[in-house]
């Protein structure tokens, strides 16, 4: 059986992940202030699902 090579994310994926991670504190703060997901997503320029996923991971 062939050994699988570890998956290496592309440069674009790393850049996006770093951007999302830089916005997590802002997402947490806005959500704790009672702001709706749609408004948070527009403010941080991310998808609503992405905001929810990272909120769950970090809260």
Write out pLDDT tens, residues 5-26: 888 879 999 999 999 999 999 9
Residue 13 lies in a domain: no
Report the domain count for the chain: 1
In this model, does residue 34 exceed pLDDT 70?
Answer: yes
Residue 14 lies in a domain: no
Residue 10 lies in a domain: no
Cβ neighbours for 40, distance < 8 A, ≥ 6 positions apart:
27, 30, 31, 48, 51
Confidence band (pLDDT; 50, 70, 90) for 31?
very high
Signed CA dihedral, 5, 11, 56, 24: sign only: positive
Which residue range forms the structural domain that includes residue 51? 25-59
Residue 11 lies in a domain: no
The pTM (predicted TM-score) of the whole model is: 0.77
- Which residue in 45, 40, 37, 55 sits closest to 16, CA to CA? 45
For the chain, percent of residues with pLDDT exceeding 70: 98
Distance CA(56)–CA(59), nearest Å, equals 5
Indicate left, alpha or beta for 4 from its phi (over 0: left) and psi (-120 to 50: alpha): beta
């Amino acid at each position: 059986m062939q050994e699988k090579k570890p998956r290496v994310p592309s440069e674009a994926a790393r850049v996006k992940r770093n951007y999302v991670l830089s916005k997590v504190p802002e997402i947490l703060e806005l959500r704790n202030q009672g702001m709706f997901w749609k408004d948070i997503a527009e403010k941080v320029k991310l998808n609503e699902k992405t905001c929810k996923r990272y909120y769950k991971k970090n809260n």
